[in-house]
């Protein structure tokens, strides 16, 4: 009996060891591209040409980062580096996130507490917007942006991101608010509070968790967007994803992988930072769209 028992313990321990080994190997697989990206961005080209793919760098410099940020020639643009693209991305993302989240919050508030005839149908129709393949609206949107004079401008991109992001933010807030007790609003109404007062005083203070999710979701979606950025921009308003793609594909002469990698990290840094700081909410946002609730 004791022998059998210790055997069992033994196999359990090996089992655990194998389990941890698999998990760690998989973790390495996910991490390697990032590690290589970072280490390459600090190496110089000689080191890359003659060194190994995965190797302790024999050189260390910020040269590639400086090049990617403010020196490399991208396309025919006068300003150099990714910096102007990065600034464009900020100018697009910040207003677009703000506006779409505010719209989503008040929409969710109405759809949860102030339903009217047809509000459910409206919600169902809007839901499809979350799954819309944007190719199906690309041509009309380009035409309309041209007609209203916003073609190739940052406000045009902001408008586009708001219009096609509001379905998601509405979904987030609506699903969150329906889980709140409806008596909250009814009691406030009996006390004579109106639509906006109830929103400001009662609903909004309860909305912090879902606002974090909605902001993170919208931020990553809009920052990482490429399709709208390439279709509706001019060289003066292109976001950083487009800048990076142009930089990687348009460089003449020898490909400077260290600069490419530094550029890729620059483009990824804001969303990575959000993920590291608020990963829990990031996951909640990702899963909220698919698993109910």
Partner 1 sequence: MTQSPPLSEPTRAVRKVHKPSLGDRLAEQIPRLVVSPTMLIAVVFIYGFMIWTVVLSFSTSRILPRYEFIGWQNYQRLFGNERWMVALTNLGIYGVLFVVICLAIGLLLAILLDQKIRAEGFLRTVYLYPMALSFIVTGTVWKWLLNPSVGIQRFGRELGFENFRFDWLVSSDMSIYTVVIAAVWQSSGFVMALFLAGLRGVDDSIIKAAQIDGASRITVYTRIIIPSLRPVFFSAIIMLAHIAIKSFDLALALTGGGPGYSSDLPAIFMYQFSFTRGQMGVGAASAVIMLMGVMAILIPYLYSELRVKKDDR
Query: Does 33 interact with partner 1 (rule: CB under 8 A)?
Result: yes
Query: Does 86 interact with partner 1 (rule: CB under 8 A)?
Result: no
Q: Which stretch, 2-10, 69-77, 200-208, 272-280, contacts partner 1 (CB under 8 A)?
A: 272-280
Query: Which one of 76, 181, 192, 208 is in contact with partner 1 (CB under 8 A)?
Result: 192
Question: CA 212: distance to chain centroid?
Answer: 13
Triad 80, 268, 240: Cα angle to 5°: 35
Number of Cβ within 10 Å of residue 132's Cβ equals 11
Identify any residues that bridge with 233 across adjacent strands, giving them in sequence order. 152
Residues 96 to 155 in contact with partner 1, rule: CB under 8 A: 103, 106-107, 109-111, 113-117, 119-120, 122, 124-129, 131-143
Query: Which one of 57, 152, 235, 289 is in contact with partner 1 (CB under 8 A)?
Result: 289
> Cβ distance 270 to 154 under 8 Å?
no
Number of residues engaging partner 1 in binding (CB under 8 A): 99
CB of 176 to partner 1, least distance (A): 16
Cα(278)–Cα(212) distance, rounded to whole angstroms? 9
Q: Which stretch, 49-57, 70-78, 80-88, 149-157, contacts partner 1 (CB under 8 A)?
A: 49-57
Nearer to partner 1, 63 or 164 (CB): 164
CB of 61 to partner 1, least distance (A): 19
Triad 91, 93, 96: Cα angle to 5°: 105
Cα(143)–Cα(145) distance, rounded to whole angstroms? 6
């Amino acid at each position: 009996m004791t022998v059998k028992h210790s055997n069992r313990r033994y196999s359990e321990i090996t089992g655990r060891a194998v389990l941890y080994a698999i998990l760690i190997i998989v973790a390495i697989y996910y991490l390697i591209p990032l590690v290589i990206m970072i280490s390459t961005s600090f190496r110089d080209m000689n080191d890359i040409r003659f060194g190994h793919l995965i190797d302790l760098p024999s050189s260390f410099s910020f040269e590639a980062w400086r090049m990617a940020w403010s020196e490399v020639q991208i396309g025919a643009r006068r300003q150099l580096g990714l910096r102007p693209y990065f600034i464009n991305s900020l100018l697009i993302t910040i207003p677009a996130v703000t506006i779409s989240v505010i719209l989503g919050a008040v929409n969710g508030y109405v759809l949860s507490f102030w339903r009217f005839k047809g509000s459910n149908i409206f919600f169902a129709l809007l839901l499809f917007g979350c799954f819309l393949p944007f190719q199906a609206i690309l041509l009309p949107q380009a035409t309309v942006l041209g007609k209203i004079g916003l073609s190739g401008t940052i406000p045009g991109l902001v408008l586009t991101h708001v219009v096609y992001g509001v379905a998601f933010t509405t979904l987030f807030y609506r699903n969150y608010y329906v889980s709140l007790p409806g008596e909250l609003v009814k009691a406030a109404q009996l006390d004579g509070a109106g639509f906006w007062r109830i929103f400001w005083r009662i609903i909004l203070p309860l909305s912090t968790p879902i606002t974090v999710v909605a902001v993170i979701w919208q931020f990553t979606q809009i920052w990482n967007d490429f399709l709208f950025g390439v279709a509706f921009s001019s060289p003066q308003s292109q976001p950083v994803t487009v800048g990076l793609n142009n930089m990687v594909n348009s460089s003449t002469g020898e490909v400077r992988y260290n600069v490419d990698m530094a550029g890729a990290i620059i483009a990824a840094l804001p969303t990575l930072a959000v993920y590291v700081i608020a990963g829990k909410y990031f996951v909640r946002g990702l899963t909220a769209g698919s698993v109910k609730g």
